[in-house]
Amino acid sequence: MLAKRIAAVEGGAFGVATASGSSAVFYSLVNLAQNGDNIAYSNKIYGGSQTLLVHVLKRFGIEGRVFDIDNLSSLEKIIDDKTKAIFFESLSNPQIAIADVETITNIAKKHKIVTICDNTVATPILFRPFDFGVDVSVHSLTKYINGHGSGLGGAVIEREGLNELIKDNSRYPAFNTPDESYHGLIYANLPLPIFSIRILIEWLRNIGASLSPQNAWIHFQGLETLELRIQKHSDSALEIAKFLESHKKVKEVNYPGLTSSPYHNLLKKYFKDSRASGLLSFEAQSYEEAKKICDSLTLYSITANIGDSKSLVIHPASTQRRWNICGKCSITAPLSQPSTPATSLLRTMLVTVLICSLVAKVSKIIAIARPTTPLPTAAWMVILLLVDVGMPNMTCLRKLLHSATRE
């Protein structure tokens, strides 16, 4: 029922709920590819998905081939007759890049390849992938759809008419030849959404990763308020992005809602009301400043999560290693290189109702943060701010932004 409801919101034909976003991504990929095949994936995706594509699936004999989301001519160069899927994120975490979806889907249609879009950060409220030719959408329900960090979950949604692409397509023999594990069933002969049916029969039945009833109920509650929350996330994030962009000690702000963003035109083309969700980043001067800012923010918990209503911050370089930052493979980047982007990402989420205090605190910390030793000019830092629903007392915020800007 939950997957059916998400499919209805997103404009899909059918869906499958899973125990986590990672399992949703995994099942959608292995549903198409097997030993000897390859998958094309964007260079700007979540680090956990990149690990899956680069390392984990390699042990299954499936090759991950990366393309540049900002230069889609690179995509066709890596496609061959063994390419089974094109995977990308509509609004990427943590790089905050927007994919030119129609260009990707047009290339996919030319080669009769299934496209898979991770729509977790954008959510079905802001971006409807099937309207622009995407075949399959995947979600981590744990994030914005849940909205409170209270349960894990994932979903795989397929578009109406996907059967026609898969049926009699030589790229997908698993759907067009008898399944010996299920009494010789040929999925392509079914008058049902065969992509989802095969996930249910082949993967959930045999491997598990089924969503628990309790978590399904929790996600139902979040879905009912998603539209209101994601609008407030977006509006509040834009206010903060404008504040940061005006701050003299901030080098650069990355948020598609800003007119200065290289993704602003794509935002206007693809996203409802040009809203860009709650994820943004900004650059300060150094790795050391990144750590100092992170450690000095007293209203934040150091936690690796997005999409809920707590104030969260994380500095991946000193706490985690599996991050894909700025579209470069930084999974194995040594932590002894403090001047590289791979070592200088912070990600933050703001609590509800305290936006004025939080912006004031961030402004103060940025002002006082200083590296203890000289650093190369290449040293930089990114903070990701994820803004939640009940935050903006906009009158208070505007006064704060005005006074902070004058300072």
Q: Cβ(31)–Cβ(197) under 8 Å?
A: no
- Residue carrying the six token digits 């009912």: 224
Q: What percent of the chain has pLDDT over 90?
A: 61
pLDDT (0 to 100) of residue 283: 77
Q: What percent of the chain has pLDDT over 70?
A: 76
pLDDT (0 to 100) of residue 362: 61
The string of pLDDT tens digits covering residues 269-283 is: 999 999 999 888 777
Nearest to 144 by CA among 232, 217, 23: 232
The string of pLDDT tens digits covering residues 117-160 is: 999 999 999 999 999 999 999 999 999 999 998 999 999 999 99
**Mean pLDDT across the chain:** 83
Distance, in Å, from the CA atom of 19 to the CA atom of 140, rounded to the nearest integer, reads: 9
The string of pLDDT tens digits covering residues 125-134 is: 999 999 999 9
Distance, in Å, from the CA atom of 361 to the CA atom of 367, rounded to the nearest integer, reads: 10
Least confident of 25-39, 233-247, 279-293: 279-293
pLDDT (0 to 100) of residue 159: 98
Using pLDDT thresholds of 50, 70 and 90, give the confidence band for residue 347: low
pLDDT (0 to 100) of residue 204: 96
The string of pLDDT tens digits covering residues 357-395 is: 456 556 666 666 655 444 333 333 444 444 433 343 344
pLDDT (0 to 100) of residue 236: 84
Q: List C-alpha distances in Å: 223 to 2, 24, 42, 159, 274.
A: 9, 18, 28, 20, 21
243 against 353, higher pLDDT = 243
pLDDT (0 to 100) of residue 320: 59
